[in-house]
Structure 1
Amino acid sequence: MLGPRPGAQKRANKLNKTGLGRSLVNQKKKEKQNPGSSDRYTTDINPYGSQSALRSVTEQQPLDELLSTAELAGKDFTTERTAAVRVITQANSKPSGLTEAERQLLIKQHYDNAGKLTIPRRPQWSKDMSKEELDSLEKDAFLAWRRSLAELQESEDLKLAVTPFERNLEVWRQLWRVIERSDLVVQIVDARNPLLYRSEDLDNYVKQFDNKNVLLLVNKSDLLNNTQREIWKNYFVENNIPFAFYSAKLATDQQEKGETQDENAPVSNEPELSLQNTTRVLNVYELQSLFLEASPKIDDGKQLQIGLVGYPNVGKSSSINSLIGSKKVSVSSTPGKTKHFQTIKLSDELMLCDCPGLVFPNFAQTTAELVCQGVLPIDQLRDYMSPSALLVERLPKQFLEKFYGIKLHTDPVTALDFLNTYAKYRGFNRTGGGEPDSSRAARIVLKDYVNAKLPFCIPPPSYESSDHEFNKENYEHLLPNVQVESETGSVVDGVTKLQLQDQMLEEELDRSFFTGSESRGTATVPFHLRNTQEMGTKSSKKHHKGKKNKK
């Protein structure tokens, strides 16, 4: 009789012993060993304030959704097994692009229903309550809020897709504590799409408390030009939104270069007395002065508490570091670095209270939009073509060619042509077949977009022209200057301006390739890779090895 093959038992021992099937087998073994076990078919409810439970959860599989719902309700799993649970995931949003008419319809629907999109409130409580009573009240309130969001999509005959949002009660508890102890709650948003990151209901919640104010801090405002900031300023003023333009990166760069304004110098050179409603990007000391100006009146000698709230990766930690002038908060490009709220003394008058990054519920247009705005993680993408298509739709063809040093062959540009061309240029090939690895190229390009290497900003809803018109000024200094002698400025002898620009660019590249001190070709380096090691030439020693004495 033949025995097992050599090494078979060893490999079997290395098999993954996790998963649903293995869990069921292990549970049956435990049931046989402990037939009277009392925790059978029950969920494990974490104790209130458990630090291990403070983990951000923005999306869940149906089974996880069911279990968390049962846990919040504090009920036996079998009683919740048949309950109607509405799962709100990114799959509810249309993955493909939208026509302009569809986009405008969605914007109107989102605006009309904005008041129904709420965040969870902490229930009324008193110091006389026990920890268990308060825990039960908060779980009931949170469960009711989760159900209200599900009913919003079920009851309305509209294309309302809710973005991924924070589903862990412990994270919301951090927000509640920050709001309760803060005098001024500052929402930090990304200047490239401020309204996507702003929770209107958060302002409403803060205003329910006595003597608390709100402020919208538009970070990364250096990515907006003067015209764009003026347009956004008018929108904020018309909608009574207290705001300020700021750039943590710009402030940090100024500090490193020693260009920071002295704290005793005048706060502003402008004639206006207030720092609010200005289109300038404030410096560090101006922002600190604005915190004092925008805060409510408090008792003399009391330190103002400034609560900082915002989505992951909008630059909240970077803003704190720029304010204090040294690195006190860990910064990462990975969303969700800050896990617990923390207080930092800024001065004798100001105390900062940093809340963990929180994903608020919002209305989504497409899943591709969420990827391009950094809400959904790029490294976990399965459909990379839709966000890539949105990217090439937004950015001018010539800009993409000049930025990446490539030549695109379709007009208008298609995502497939762009990704394949870039993959070939970088030498990204799939294993085995040698085809261009477009998925790898897409991850790099999308990260360039999220990290603002590819400039594009969303205009406010009141802006009457197109998104391309809003961003036109951003590319003028990067694209070739082409003078078109035509009354219309669009067509010369049957050739469109875009075709003329392409032709002149090709001629310019030809001249740079074939001319020089020697009759040989020269390759130009894309402008974003100049002065880097990425395009450095490799040593030729290996190439000439063994040929040194050859005649």
Structure 2
Amino acid sequence: MMPTVLDFPKRPPWSYQTSKEQLLAQEEKSFQAYLENIYKSFKPNQLSYFEHNLETWRQLWRVLEMSDVVLLITDIRHPVIHFSPALYDFVTQDMKKKVILVLNKIDLAPPALVVAWKHYFQSRFPEVHIVCFTSYPQESQDERDPSTVFKKRRKRRRGWTTAMGPNQLLRACEVITAGKVDLSSWKEKICRDATSARLAGSSSEEEEDEDPPVLVEHQTDTAMEMEPLHQELYRDGVLSIGCVGFPNVGKSSLINGLVGRKVVSVSRTPGHTKYFQTYFLTSTVKLCDCPGLIFPSLVDRQQQTLAGIYPISQIQEPYTSVGYLAVRIPVSTLLKLKHPAVEDPQLEAQQRAHWTSWDICEAWAEKRNYKTAKAARNDVYRAANSILRLAVDGRLCLCMRPPGYSAQKGAWERHQETTEIASLQASHRRDSRRSSEEEEEEEISSSGEEEDEEKDRDADEEEEEEPAEDGTGGSSRRAGIKGKLSHRNLFALLKEDEC
């Protein structure tokens, strides 16, 4: 079942005799009519949180009009939520343009699940081209201690160019353009960036500055001019790729992975309000970056929250979402929580305990020392928000599955493409290990020196080392756990097949 089944606001019809003022008035009237109609058709509690700012939708319209190919970016954990069938139909049928679907952050999902999602979209949307992408080099999931859910890794800039996906995207664009655009300069840029990434360990910052810059043009309100719906493709021999996606799907990371390190910014009209940006990767390829916006849908509030759609800071009652998460993955185990109502500290007694969402939040507040200002009680609300942020960031990983995945899981694991995806992920992990010396793992104190919002986001660091039962140090205990996990699939611990 496709949760995102609703239409989205579209630019009203116009002609070259229409003035800019008339068009703006028509757009305002059409948008208000759209809102009135959708709220007549559905109750407010049925509708998802979605974009109500007309200016943001105008930027989408402009990006769609300027683009030859639309890059629709989704998070592999929740791709069906981030994919709009209405946008797909509008681009492919009304605008007669191609859509490339990016399954981003694929290191957060098992290879078989990635392949299952690819075939799900290909079977239902035959005109879509699918590319798998990951922007950050990450450590192998099946070699990680679950305690690393607490760790926050600071990425170095050179990690952008070791990301998976640019070559796949290039090949998809070569198929779409069919030789009508010279993409050789883009291919050379990808090879050059990959070479620079491999040599970055021995290169200085000054040497990195020798890379050719990427030109960025800030589109302004004066650039929001009228364009025909069916404009000429590949105008002046340039491929324009429009990047569209929900917030928190990794769109900025993906663009950084394509752009590289050095950027030169220009603006058509200095001092005017900036709308969206265009990145000239080469003389024949440019990216049009649309601000992240949320399409209307019928997704329930818990899924919206965990998919990064609904702002966590605006949630009044976060405990239901925490419970939704805890039913599907072992949150108490991953966070090493001690049940507040069980005095016996033994692991077996803790495992037998029944956990409610409130218990999880209270135990996390106790573990992180989150206290209310006046009574110094456990700040359960703040703890709940912290857990939800861990889920949105991918440190507590919950993956949706396509229909029938559980029944056919064995077949997907034996699928030929699964081996290819696993190989790509393994290659990506090798790049990650090469860059690991330049990455920093930092522990962030909860001593009250930072702002509350920042502390909530960073409440994922490892605590002090805990002594093992046999009296050995915590570091050796963790090393033993890591050694054991190197021979097993961490996704089994995360109960991926129970999501």
TM-score category of the 2 structures, normalised to the smaller one: 0.5 to 0.7
Give the counterpart of 2:471 among 504, 509, 515: 515
CA deviation string 1:300-344 (max 9, x = no partner): 9510110001112211111111101116499xxxxxxx9721111
C-alpha separation in 2, matches of 1:168 and 1:309 = 16
Whole-angstrom distance in 1 between the partners of 2:386 and 2:22: 49
Distance in 2 (CA, whole Å) between partners of 1:244 and 1:380 is 33
Q: CA deviation at 1:234?
A: 2.0
More helix by share: 2
Aligned residue-pair number: 339
Cα separation, partners in 2 of 1:179 and 1:372, compared to 1, 3 Å: same
- Please state if 1:430 is matched with 2:372: yes
5 Å-filtered alignment, 1:215-364, equals: 215-239=100-124, 240=126, 241-250=128-137, 256=158, 260=162, 282-295=164-177, 298=233, 302-326=237-261, 328=263, 340-364=275-299
Q: Secondary structure at the match of 1:392?
A: helix
Match of 1:404 in 2: 335
Where 2:35 maps in the other structure, the secondary structure is helix
Contact 2:160 2:257 in 1 (8 A): no
The question of whether the paired residues in 1 share the 8 Å contact of 2:137 and 2:159 is answered with no
Q: Secondary structure at the match of 1:345?
A: strand
From 13, 30, 41, the counterpart of 1:124: 13
Q: How far is 1:173 from its partner?
A: 0.8
Q: Which amino acid aligns with 1:247?
A: T
> Tell me, what secondary structure is at the counterpart of 2:282?
coil
Instruction: Give secondary structure in 2 for the equivalent of 1:344.
Output: strand
Using the aligned pairs only, state the percent identity. Answer: 32
2:144 corresponds to 1:144 = no
Aligned residues of 2:100 and 2:130 also touching (Cα < 8 A): yes
TM-score normalized with structure 1 length: 0.55
SS at match of 2:99: strand
Between the aligned partners of 2:244 and 2:8, the Cα distance in structure 1 is 13
Match of 1:134 in 2: 23
Q: Is the 8 A contact 2:136 2:159 kept in 1?
A: no
Output one character per residue of 1:61-81: Cα deviation in whole Å (capped at 9) or x when no partner: xxxxxxxxxxxxxxxxxxxxx
Tell me if the contact between 1:321 and 1:329 (Cα under 8 Å) persists in the aligned partners.
Answer: no
Do residues 441 (structure 1) and 383 (structure 2) align? Answer: yes
Select 2:398's aligned residue among 428, 452, 456: 456
Displacement of 1:176 after TM fit? 0.7
Larger RCO (alpha carbons 8 Å, 6+ apart):
2
User: Secondary structure of the equivalent of 1:375?
Assistant: coil
- 2-structure distance, mates of 1:284, 1:458: 25
Residue type of the alignment partner of 2:387: V
CA distance in structure 2 between the partners assigned to 1:514 and 1:120 by the alignment: 63
Which of 189, 192, 200 is the matching residue for 2:85?
200
SS in 2 for 1:370: helix
Match of 2:338, SS? coil
Residues 357 and 510 (structure 1), Cα distance of their counterparts in 2 relative to 1, 3 Å cut: closer
Q: Is the CA contact 1:184–1:295 (under 8 Å) kept in the aligned structure 2?
A: no
Secondary structure in 1 aligned to 2:137?
helix
Do the aligned partners of 1:193 and 1:458 also contact (CA within 8 Å) in 2?
Answer: yes
1:185-213 deviation line (CA, Å, top 9, x unaligned):
11111111001111111111112445411
Could you give the per-residue CA deviations for residues 255-289 of structure 1, whole angstroms, max 9, x where no partner exists? 836984xxxxxxxxxxxxxxxxxxxx943233233
2:318 paired with 1:384: yes
TM-score (norm 2): 0.60
Q: CA deviation at 1:295?
A: 4.4
CA contact (8 A) 1:189 1:216 kept: yes
2: CA distance between counterparts of 1:253 and 1:318?
Answer: 11
Deviates more, 1:169-178 or 1:419-428: 419-428
> Cα RMSD over matched residues?
3.6
- Preserved contact between residue 220 and residue 247 of structure 1 (Cα < 8 Å): yes
Give me the whole-angstrom Cα distance separating, in 2, the residues matched to 1:526 and 1:203.
Answer: 50
| Change beyond 3 A, Cα 1:190–1:525 | farther
User: What is the identity, as a one-letter code, of the residue corresponding to 2:72?
Assistant: Q
Unaligned runs of 5+ in 1: 1-106, 261-280, 331-337, 472-508, 517-521, 531-551
Match for residue 52 of structure 2? 167
Among candidates 355, 358, 362, match of residue 420 of structure 1? 362
